[in-house]
Structure 1
Amino acid sequence: MSTLEACAALPAGRAHGKTAGGAHAQVRRLKGALLKGVVYLAAALTCALLVGLIGYIFLKGLPGITWELLSTAPSALKGTIGILPNLLNTLYIVGFALLAALPLGVGAAVYLTEYAASRRLIAVVEFATEALAGIPSILYGLVGMLFFCQMLQLKTSLLAGGCTLVIMILPTIIRTTQESLKTVPGSYREGALGLGATRWYMIRTIVLPSSLEGIVTGCILAVGRIVGESAALLFTAGVGTVVAQNVFAAFGRSGGTLSVALYMYVSERGEFEVGYAIAAILMLLVLGLNAATRLVRRTMKSKEGAK
């Protein structure tokens, strides 16, 4: 090919390259739009499923919620159906489990992330927590019944059920807190230590406030599991429906939570209207606890920002 022929063919080659590049760009844009549409569709389906589930429960359950249901205890002699003992037992056991599990879980996560030097130890503990998180709740109930109720002689009581739930939610709190601590930039730690702060002061004032989102997420997941748990509590806490005189008396006797009451009313008595009402109360309780947890998080963050 002569020089003139090569120069004549050059613009044609460039034009062909531009055409091919434009086609590839168009294909990439189509793929991107398709994937974006799939993501939006998945998000819409998830939101629709959530709204549909909550809406169905509220539609079926809210009409059955009455003051008599909330303020009385069940009585075969009086012919009344009430969930006041179950509601109180649920609040008691949620408070006890969080008060016991949060310090243990956050402390374990802080040690694994900030203090532990042995990678083998960290790997073993992480494997153990992941394995515990995957164990079915019925097995926790059996172990809790054998250990807390029989070996420690706590009998069937709220205290035995609360201790069992503490073991159940510890892996969730540890893992979420640990992953949140890992997201804190290392420059924060280096800057604090470089200014002369002690390791604990650095953790308390910089690392933990920066990882508050993960800790709150762990609390929300733990509360959801506590409120919705029934299998483990059937073996450990029992199904008692007597209103105790005080909190300490309640932990010393058998007591069924709302989820246990839901199971008993639906499966044993076939009273689906009461079951839907309890389900709606459980949903409202979970939403309220989540909102309260988020409010506490915002308050703590605003105080840290003011400082």
Structure 2
Amino acid sequence: MVILSDILLFLTTALVVSITCLCVLLRVRMSDAYTGSFLTVLTPLSFQMCLTLLTTYLSRVLDEQHLLSRFYETYALGATLLSVLLTTLLLLMFSRYLIKLIRATEEQKHLGNRILTLLILVFFILSLYIIFAKSGGDWIKALHDTMRYHFFSASMFLVIHGVLGCLYAKKATTWEEERLLKGICYTFLPLIILFPLDILFFRQVAFKLVYLSFAVLSVYLYYFISRRYFLTYEMTSGLPDAKVKQLGVSEREAQIINLLVEGLSNQEIAKELFISPNTVKTHIKNIYTKLGVSNRLQLFNLLKQ
């Protein structure tokens, strides 16, 4: 069971971190609002999973003398505080992200943010009190309890998000909102079943079955990213005359945009239009300046909209 737990923990962490890195890349390249929102959730989740993996690894490789050393006690105290903070931040950011997605008035969203923030603050204070009161100054025990039970228990808070995702998915007005809300629903409602299974079979190990929900969330976000940022670009159509006038580009620039959409490189475009690659670069630079974009991904996103 311990070996299986370690393997699942490593795979889940690797998956979450990989999707986070992909979102960072897209955020840098596109400055897109969706990837920015994803990162507010994925960043604390990635750090929390990495911290859990690191602590589990250290407990396996360090001998008893090092585990009882002053240095490890200091690490245990810092890791405990950091874990509680990351878990609380994850809950807070995910709550704000969900409220941002749902169709509601600004007053309703503001009220929802206040209620969820208050609940999460109470959870944070109770977590610190229970962990440190129970440990009695034994920071290694505090770290052990935190890694075994705190993040696991906090994950159950996300069942509320799953229920809200189901309720508001039907009210979504865009496919992006609908897909993301359904993803939250499909990801976190199964926690109702996974939680008792963890208590029965995974209670004494680092990995919990509820962590699989975060792996599912990562896969779902990857599916969303693939459809929005990759697959849809393959179906981006050329520029009609009305669109050319609307964007304020010349006929030659419109030709280059259409060839970019077809996936041609600068050299291929130059060969197609019988001009030099440097001339193509100049045209592309002018296109980016006129349309207020800085790379092809942003250009394709603009054309799709």
The question of a shared fold, defined as TM-score above 0.5 by the shorter chain, is answered with no
TM-score, L = length of structure 2: 0.28
